[in-house]
Chain A
Amino acid sequence: MNAGMLAVVVIVCYLALLLGLGVFSSRFFKGTSADYFLASRGIGPFLLLMSLFGTTMTAFALVGSSGESFKSGIGVYGKMASWSGIIHSACFFLVGIKLWSLGKRHGYVTQIQFFRDRFESDKIGLVLFPILVGLVVPYLLIGVISSGTVIQNVTAGAFPATFHYEAARLNGSVPYWLGAGVICLVVLFYVFFGGVRGTAWANAFQTIVFIVLGAVAFFAIAGELGGPVEATKLVQEYNPAKLKCTATAADRANYEEKLAAYEADQQAAIIKPQEPKSIDDLAFLMYFLIPLSVGMFPHLFQHWLTARSAKSFRLSVIAHPLMIMIVWVPCVMIGVWATSAIAHGKPVIPPNLGNPNAVLAIMVKKLTSPALGGFLTAGILAAIMSSLDSQFLCIGSIFTNDIVGHYITHEKLSDRQMVLIGRGFVVLIVAVTYFIAVQWKTTGVFPLAIWCFSGFASLFPLVFASLYWRRVTKAGAYACVLTAAAMWLYLFAQSDFGANREYLFLGMLPVTTIIALSTLALVGVSLMTSPPSPETLDKFFRPAGGRGAATASIASGALSDA
């Protein structure tokens, strides 16, 4: 059995295991919409930690981080990971716990339900709906594109008689469309049958898998390169700027010298050096705005609401930064090592590699045993799927609860029909995402993620103000959302729709301007308009457990928690 075929066997076994988990979790399904969308609000601390971490650590954490450090060096950790450790936990602590509390008190399932009530506006749901769905879809694409790319790269040589490619290194590999399609179907299966409980279980399992296998990959790859010290020494020789955030004049001189040597004799020089890059210090600082997106992710909102109690959040708040570190540091080092890795006298990564997302898969394939390569691929797919599942489910939830359930009242729909509709929307969104991913398979994961995260982060002032500022008004909320949407669209177009990866506006990340303006609109318009009604303020700002003048009314046909 060749290496590609072995990888296929391991991947198939892993996916079969997930299908089994889907079947098993479906046995605990109570048949109600509350159980399908919120696991009857019964998720404990460990499962919550695994769900939140597995959901926030997408393919981007493994495939994107290694690809970006391959291109730009170690600075990607400070820009993305350590900021995320600080800000994600802040969002869990300051936003998640409060939303959980309000969600449990008033029976919310989706963000839009919360915003409709908080801003006393039905139509804000119609404004938010296309924006949230429109931002989740590119997020989904990150996972689907990455899974297809990874499977294609690691299964090269598996079916040489069946699949042919222009690039010889891919010959015989499982096609992108097939790999991405199978992943979509597997995720669809356990989301369809298990709902959010199946998703939480699968996330916990997959998070453990990708952390353990990520560590194994790190040591296996390092071992093949002569140990981590030797691997770093190669980088010091060929691409020393990758080990720094700022390239010096000496790094540029070294680059010119190595490039000239490479162009003179490629066989002798072995590694084609990469042009040194420096991190912009203002951009490095402003990257803290990107992880604010976590406060507005609809799929995280849904996971927050599954918590058994507020205390369930404690473990997530504390352990999340550490888990980010455990996953990111090895991936960043693997990406940096890939710039200068040599095996059997040849570069491990082909020169002029067009797709940096493929770096991790190529390193795993070329530097580990075929069996380990297969397992490590399963780990990468685990990271990808542990995000995809929550996103698919949350879109189904938004459609079902905010559109169908909202406009076709519960009197006309049984709880079982609500579940059926939710499942139907999940199938629809999986199909749409898959077809887009097949069309856009060369889209870079990193810019897609940055623009997607920027969009959600731009709406962070809305959720934060809704929880902490009594004076924020309906008009202020509309102004915030519309300003964020308009600015995002304008700047996205200015960046050639994400194609310009280095795009800055006024010398800063676009998200900086969008958040500044959306906050300005929120505050300015709120102060110019009438404050919310005392009933609404009482409902959202009275202490939990207290009974204000206007206790929450019980709407007929509300979500059943039976």
Chain B
Amino acid sequence: MKYLFYGLIVLLAVVHQDFWWWDRAEPLVFGFIPISLAYQAGVSIAAACLWAAAVKYCWPEGADVDQEPVASDATSGGAA
């Protein structure tokens, strides 16, 4: 499932390059939005749908930390 999702994201990135209508404005969506801009807005909607699928099917295992924070090594820094 995870690999299908990554594949779809790569596909979305590929179809983002909408060179096939870069040299034209028509058709104007709703009579005023150039087709390339409308298409790119569609890419944003597709991205939201894909990420919704990722949240449902590819949620990172063990992401939730239930216990209270273990104070910190934060201020101690590293060794070097």
Contact residues of A with B, CB < 8 Å?
A: 41, 74-75, 77-78, 81-83, 85-86, 89-90, 93, 97-98, 100-101, 104-110, 113-114, 116-117, 119-125, 228-229, 231-232, 236, 240, 243-248, 279, 281, 284-285, 288, 309-311, 314, 317-322, 324-325, 329, 332-333, 401, 405-406, 409-410, 474, 543-546, 551-555, 557-559, 561
Contacts and interface: CB of A to CB of B under 8 A. Distances in A.
A116 B78 contact: yes
A554 B73 CA distance: 6
Given A106-B70, A318-B52, 8 more contacts: A74-B36, A232-B33, A244-B22, A244-B23, A244-B36, A245-B36, A406-B77, A474-B80
Contacts of B31: 228-229, 232
A86 B21 CA distance: 21
A243 B25 contact: yes
A245 B23 CA distance: 6
Contacts of B79: 120-122
B18 to A, nearest CB: 7
Contact of A310 (B30, B47, B51, B63): B63
A401 B75 contact: yes
B54 A317 contact: yes
Contact of A86 (B47, B55, B74): B47
A422 to B, nearest CB: 14
B18 A108 contact: no
A97 B60 contact: yes
Contacts of B22: 75, 244-246, 279, 281
A40 to B, nearest CB: 10
A41 B66 CA distance: 12
- Name A's interface SS: helix
A116 B77 contact: yes
A239 to B, nearest CB: 11
A519 B62 CA distance: 28
Contact of A78 (B16, B51, B52): B16
A93 B54 contact: yes
27 contacts: A85-B43, A90-B9, A98-B60, A104-B69, A106-B73, A107-B69, A114-B74, A122-B78, A124-B78, A231-B32, A232-B34, A243-B34, A244-B34, A246-B22, A247-B23, A284-B17, A310-B65, A320-B51, A322-B48, A401-B74, A474-B78, A474-B80, A543-B61, A552-B73, A553-B73, A561-B69, A561-B71
Given A279-B22, A318-B51, A329-B41, A101 B74 contact: no
B74 A109 contact: yes
Contact of A83 (B16, B18, B80): B16
Contact of A555 (B47, B65, B72): B72
A75 B16 CA distance: 12
A322 B64 contact: no
Given A90-B9, A117-B73, A321 B47 contact: yes
A117 B32 contact: no
The 9 closest A-B pairs by CB, nearest first: A107-B72, A243-B25, A558-B71, A558-B72, A113-B74, A245-B22, A122-B77, A310-B63, A228-B32
A325 B19 contact: no
Nearest to B17: A285
Contacts of A231: 32
B17 A113 contact: no
Contacts of B75: 113, 401, 405-406, 409-410, 555, 557-559
Interface in B28-53: 28, 30-34, 36-37, 40-41, 43-45, 47-48, 51-52
Contacts of A311: 64
A409 B22 CA distance: 58
A496 B50 CA distance: 40
B40 A77 contact: yes
A86 B12 contact: yes
Nearest to A102: B65
Given A120-B79, A322-B48, A314 B36 contact: no
Contact of B28 (A232, A309, A555): A232
A74 B45 contact: no
A120 B34 CA distance: 52
A105 B73 contact: no
A555 B45 contact: no
Contacts of A320: 48, 51
B23 to A, nearest CB: 4
Contact of A229 (B13, B32, B34, B36): B32
A74 B69 contact: no
Given A77-B37, A85-B44, A244-B25, A555 B64 contact: no
A244 B33 CA distance: 11
